[in-house]
A and B are shown apart, each in its own frame.
Chain A
């Protein structure tokens, strides 16, 4: 499944927050595939592990918490946004507000019918068999 634009979406619009369960326990993290790790350094937002997982780090790189979108009844539609295969396809970037909430920023105008795609980081991309050099 993927998410597509039903109407033109302007650049610099943003979607969010990525609604889901938050926790600090790394053990819980291992049993789900829909988790972001949240750290204090906003630039180090990384989508990790096998399916859908985000992490947000602190300024020292420490994990603040994990954001888990695996449960359908505790997450929202942003969980359905997929990872692009190359930089050209990407039209969203993830960012963190107040070291807590995750939003997706629209980086270019999206016409009707185009799929919304956000890069989840090299680790996740490699799990999908994507050539990560296309994003450097």
Chain B
């Protein structure tokens, strides 16, 4: 079982846990196991077509999986998988057509 570090934004989908364990020999299998444990958690990581989103990075230990084998990257029991979403402190328009309820443009 590899360790999976979750960013704050995904913790609500994992009962508030910062770190969980998941099984799989590849990242694809590991994410599938994660989805079984916490339904809906991988929707922000993989697209409907099953590819990795380009605004969320996944690292196996300290390496971006885009430069390893993407979803086929091998994952071992001693590995740590980190999920890192792009954050800007806030996209300006949260929902298309809806005025953002915010005043502070800088963090």
Partners in one complex: no
B-to-A contact residues, CB < 8 Å = none
